[in-house]
Every structure is written in structure tokens, then in C-alpha cells.
Structure 1
């Protein structure tokens, strides 16, 4: 007699240790135990009696159990052991789980992050977790086509993050290349997305690039009435033209006032992890004007670690927004000048307005990486004389601009 849904739902365990069996036909039966109700199917294969587990009630209904029974009988008719087929299917599912985009991406991240900076490694994974894993993370690499990936990237574009969308396209490409290398897929659909995303409109950091405007900026800095350390940060940003992060995170241990030199450790520079670990420190000669600024500041912050400590706690450097906020207070909008703009200002005026300045020396002082032996040579200590002379000339030039003196441009003189 066939079972019914009502019977299966209401039947109770009788208390027998082995449980109670209720047949449904064709070898299928319901095994009722104290722990639950289980679907089973007895069958014979190659002269041996075997039992196949069809599922647990109520997760597997009576109708679903009968479907599984019928599928098993079809396999038997084709000469296939349904028990072995079930184990093979389970194994295939487990293998597929390791081939999902998220699984492969996390594996790639673990393998590669040792060669990345901690910040880059964290950012790489954060972008994936936020924008790609929720949409394609559960799909196997072989099931992700270019249109599917593009749909996920379009969601990033819709919130205006075009640059992030392009970055995610590149990182997804890394995952697929790793998938090809490890046998998880055979092709990389990212290549088919070339030109599919909205272009990135590069917006350069605002900077003062004209001598007259630079003079106005310098005079405004002289008249700054906020915190003395903030004014000093503005002054050194102009005099040293280093990256804003290296200015605000500058430590007194890096500074040798007697030798008029700042030595920024390689680990603090904007470099790849291998370069941070093995690269040379970046040397910044100090002009007399820069030395005077530091000596004036030393009694205020010299007792601590940072040259420009946070006002809230001396254990951290000043906020990355401090210099920008000071520029706004001085009347310079974000479209006119930024903390990063001091670098562009120095590079432009040094090369275009001051005779005899070598562009290669300027680039070296900016810590812009260059390929080839010539570029690396300018990072060596024996070229410090050119840098030191340039920094002194630059400081003197800024003094002239501050006073409003007329400086003839190099190209006009020619």
C-alpha cells in the first residue's frame, strides 16, 4: 500500500531501537526513528543488496523522494549503480564549490597578498566583497560570461564610481588568469569587456602654477593665524614638495638638523611592497628656510614622535585633511589649490621658470620612479649636491615670489 502525505506527516516512532519501516513500493520506504524520518531505497546491483539514502523528511517530501527513487531505477536500468552516481555527484558539487569566483578570488588573494602592501591587499579584498562577490561570487568561473560580469560592473558605474568599475575589471581579470593557470577555467571573459565601460575622465589635482598666484599663496601662508604646526606644514609643503602623506607623517627621527637632511624610510614611501622592503630611503635636503621652520617648530612638537602631531593625541600624525582645510581657510578653493598641488607647483615652476634646473633631478626629488639605470642613479647619495643646490635655489625663488619680485621666465629669456 502506497504511503500518503498525511500518514508521513503524522506517523510516530514506536520506540523500536532499529526504527519502523513503512514501504511505498519499488524498494522505497520511510524509516521512522526517534531522531527523525528518513527516506531509503533498497536495490540490488551486481548481485549485491544495497541501500540508497533519498533524503530526510520534511526537507524531502514524499513526492520528491519518489522522484529520486525513479531516477535511481533509471540509472539501474542503464547499468549504473545509483549509490556510486550519488557519491560522484556529491564530489562534483564539492569541486564546483572551490571553482566559484569568490573561492578562486580569495585563494588568489591569499597567494599574492604576501607581495602586496597591507593597505593594497585590504583594499583589493574590500572592493571584491562589496561589488563583485554579491553578484557573481557564487558562480563558477566557467559560468561567468562577459555580459554577466558587465552587469555587475554596471551597478558600480550607476553610483558614479567609474574608476572603481575599471579597477574591478582589472582585478577580475587577475582572478580569471589565475583560474586558467590552476585549471578552473579555460578563458578570460574580461578581455571581451575592453571599451564596454564608461571612460575615466582624469581630473588633475588643483595647483597654483603661476608665479604671481604662488606669491599670493605664500603671503597668505605667512599670515595664517591658526595652529603654528599647521602653518609649518603649509610652509614645508611648499619648500619640500613631498607627498602630503610624507609631510604630515614626518617624524623627528627622520630629521638631521646638523646635516640639513630628511631621510624618509623606504617603507614610508609610495612603492610596491618589495621596493618598500628592499629600496633605499628617500633623501630630502633642507634649505636654510626649511631648517628655520623646523627649528621654530621643535620646541612645540620636538618632544614627541611626529613633527606634525594630531591635536587630539600626539600618538598619531595630523589628519590628512588638515592642510587642505587650512588652504580653504586662507581663501583657496578646492579648484585652486590642494595639499598635493604643492608638488605640481614646484615641478612646473622649477622647470619652466628657473634656469639650469635638470628635469631628472626634479623628478628624483619628487620620488617619481623611472625605469633604467639613469633613473635609478638619481636616487643615489652621490647626486645629493644637485638636489641640495636645487632646494636652496627653490627656497630663494619662493622668497622672491613672496616679496612680489618679478622673476623672468626661462622661456621668455630665451
Structure 2
């Protein structure tokens, strides 16, 4: 026979199991840890099952009382299980009780797995990484039903306190997405993140991204970043971003398979061959253009950009990503890595990663005006991947003016990198971190 101590100490296993008492009574222990009192009996030659209630809500002594009452009904030729519907309801209740024990991290990972097919790979990695970094440590182990609005707000306030106001808002949306899934499945009834929306700090007014547009001043950003204790991967990513007029997300998600015409052994440059072919799926285009091959973006590479890639290839060439993150080689560099680096070395509010596009545009357009280079303005727009409203023209221009684009890319690289060390010199220092 069972004892109160034995019942209390019963722990979950990989598979459900029973702990027998007497008279058909037993304790059922589910893999989730849920314990319930049940009784097996025979009536009219058929084996049947009664479910009395969960432990510890129902103690051993009360379960025995319920068993004894059921046995008296059987003795009087009364089926204590009632209608089949009651058994079905009990099973459904048990299923729901087990479902309500799911933790937020389990639920969020299931939601992410379901959603990630709709997202670009880099965005999918950003979503799960942000949850792992900012949400799971605080509430990942809590049951979905145990999380309330003040708990969610506390998590998001911690993100706001480090200045990441937009990230906090994105996290709130992601938490709500998790709850929307499990509300629809009947596991929970309320979304605690919904009420938090208006309690978050407002986003700062959108303005131009801070950027240093004087080449000599912009060069100081690279000098300071490359003199810091950041990892070689982060330094190389920063330099390639500055040289290629690309968006930060394009750099973070860059894969080795996207680069063409490069002699990785470093025997030759091939100025007419080196090219970065960025797939349309990773471009910041309007949604109805994503996935269309004709809107991939082609970036001719200067010898300095190839120099960066060859150096990076020594570190990460065996993997898929050019610039993997600190903890996982299959995940891209953190979306905040370059911004934090520039802030740490003294350029907070003066220059952001996206600002290199303004640096390039201002410098090269000024040179075009000064030297009366007719047509350069349109070529510079192509290099920045600013899509024309005319889609036919956009498709035609994807490879248009490639010779002039190579010339402007090289001119910009020569100006920016004047006096700078070669990329291989950036390989010294810690190999991880940022």
C-alpha cells in the first residue's frame, strides 16, 4: 500500500507509470509531473477506469474514501464511472492540465519553429537569439499560465534600460506571438504582453542615421574600432561594411557561396571578376519583390574588400557564414555587435553602422559634382540598391553600369583606406567575442 511520503516523492519519468495502492486504486504519474488518482475496476464483465482527481489537491486518504464509495456502488450494481462522456472529459481535462505545464521557452521554441519558414534566415536567427538573450533567462522556465503582465513588463524594462527601446518593442510582439498560438489551442486564455504595449517607452523620432560624411573623420571610426579589443570577426565585418555600401543585415548574413571571382589563396586579385551576389531574399526590398531572382543585388569588390574576405576566410572559411556570432558558428554576428563597438570606441550618436552608406553617398556625389561626372548620381543610387519605382528598369539595372560601379567602388576604397593596415593585421587578438 502507498504512503503519503511515497506519493509525495514520486517524480516524473520519460514514460507515464502507476503506483498501486489497494482495491484497484493507483497513482498515475505523467511525464509532465502531473499526478492523478485513478481506480481500475470491472463492471458487467468489462474493465473500466475512474479518475478521481489530481494530487496534491486530493490527498491519499480522500482518494481511498472515493475508492471505497465506488466499490459500494459496484456492490449495488451501479457503474461508478457514469457515462462514457465523463471519461472523455476527464481525459481531455488531463491533456489540458499537462499542456498548461508547458514553459514559456518550450512554447516559444515551438512557435519559432512553426514561423521561421516565413522569414529570411537572418531574421529567424535574430528572433530566437533575442529571446535567448533577453527573455528566456528571466521567464523561460515559467509556465505560460503563470506569467502575468507585470512580469513581462519587468523583462522589457531591463531591455529598455540599456537603451534598446526598439528591441523591447520587438520582443513584446514576439511574446504576444507565442501567446496567440497557445490561446488558439486553448492552453491559455490571456496574452500578458498585450496589456504591456502602452506601458513601454515611445520610440525616438525617426531621423537621419548618424554618420560622419567627411572621409578623414569616417576613417577614424575604423581606426578606433580596429584598435579596440573586439574580435577579428567583428573588426573585419566592420571594415567590409564600410567598403561595400551594403546594409548591416547584408553583412551579418553574408555566406561564402555568395562571392565570386576571388582567388582565396591570394595569388591574384582579378579586378574585373570579384563580385558579391546578394540574393533577393536578403535584400531590403518591398515584400512582393522578395524571392525574384532578377532583383538580387550585385556588388563589385575593390581589392581592399577582397583583402578583408581573404583574411576572414582564414577564420571562418570552413563554415557557411562569413561573419558568424560569438557562441554559435551557424548563427550570424549579433545585430547589435557593430553598433555597440562604435559606441564603445567613442562614436555614440555620431556614427552608426548604417551610416557608412551616407558616408559613401555624400563623398562620391560631392566628387561627381566637383569633377562634373555626368551620370554618376544614378550609378551611386544603383550601388546603394535603391530600387527604382519602375520594376522593369530595376531588373535591367541590376547589372547595369558595372564597369563604372567598379571604378567608384575602388575610388571610395582608396580614399577610405588611405594609410590603413592590411586586413591580415586584424587577425591578431581574441578570436571570439565582440
- TM-score (normalizing by structure 1): 0.55
How many Å apart are 1:197 and its aligned residue?
A: 0.9
Query: Over residues 324-343 of structure 1, what are the superposed CA-to-partner deviations in whole Å (9 max), with x where a residue is unaligned?
Result: 8xx99xxx844466766433
Aligned counterparts of 2:63 and 2:200: Cα–Cα separation in 1 = 48
Q: Which has the larger radius of gyration?
A: 1
Query: Over residues 257-310 of structure 1, what are the superposed CA-to-partner deviations in whole Å (9 max), with x where a residue is unaligned?
Result: 656354213359844899479465432346xxx45x579x6xxx9xxxx42236
Aligned counterparts of 1:117 and 1:235: Cα–Cα separation in 2 = 24
Aligned to 1:90: 91
Contact 2:40-2:49 within 8 A present in 1 as well: yes
**Counterpart check, 1:367 vs 2:385:** yes
Q: Paired residue for 2:361, among 347, 358, 367?
A: 347
Gaps of 5+ in 1: 10-19, 23-28, 33-37, 225-229, 404-414
Contact 1:173-1:188 within 8 A present in 2 as well: yes
Aligned to 2:111: 108
How many Å apart are 1:195 and its aligned residue?
A: 2.7
Aligned to 2:245: 241
**Counterpart check, 1:307 vs 2:326:** no
Aligned to 1:381: 399
How many residues are matched? 348
Q: Paired residue for 1:283, among 298, 303, 309?
A: 298
Query: Over residues 176-229 of structure 1, what are the superposed CA-to-partner deviations in whole Å (9 max), with x where a residue is unaligned?
Result: 444566676788665543331123458987642236645x759989xx9xxxxx
**Counterpart check, 1:138 vs 2:152:** no
Higher RCO structure (Cα 8 Å, ≥6 apart): 2
How many Å apart are 1:121 and its aligned residue?
A: 2.7
Query: Over residues 56-109 of structure 1, what are the superposed CA-to-partner deviations in whole Å (9 max), with x where a residue is unaligned?
Result: 999974434257559979x999x9729863552332231454476656544432
Aligned counterparts of 2:187 and 2:91: Cα–Cα separation in 1 = 18
Aligned to 1:260: 272
Range that drifts further, 272-281 or 107-116 = 272-281
CA distance 1:344–1:144, shift in 2 (3 Å): same
How many Å apart are 1:345 and its aligned residue?
A: 1.0
Query: Over residues 5-52 of structure 1, what are the superposed CA-to-partner deviations in whole Å (9 max), with x where a residue is unaligned?
Result: 89x99xxxxxxxxxx997xxxxxx5879xxxxx987699999999664
Aligned counterparts of 1:157 and 1:219: Cα–Cα separation in 2 = 28
Contact 1:98-1:104 within 8 A present in 2 as well: no
Contact 2:388-2:394 within 8 A present in 1 as well: yes
CA distance 1:340–1:102, shift in 2 (3 Å): closer
Aligned counterparts of 2:221 and 2:118: Cα–Cα separation in 1 = 42
- Within a 5 Å distance, the mapping from 1:167-316 to structure 2 comes to 167-179=170-182, 190-201=193-204, 207-210=211-214, 213=217, 240-243=244-247, 246=251, 253-255=260-262, 260-267=272-279, 270-271=282-283, 275=290, 278=293, 280-285=295-300, 290-291=302-303, 306-309=309-312
Aligned counterparts of 2:223 and 2:40: Cα–Cα separation in 1 = 91
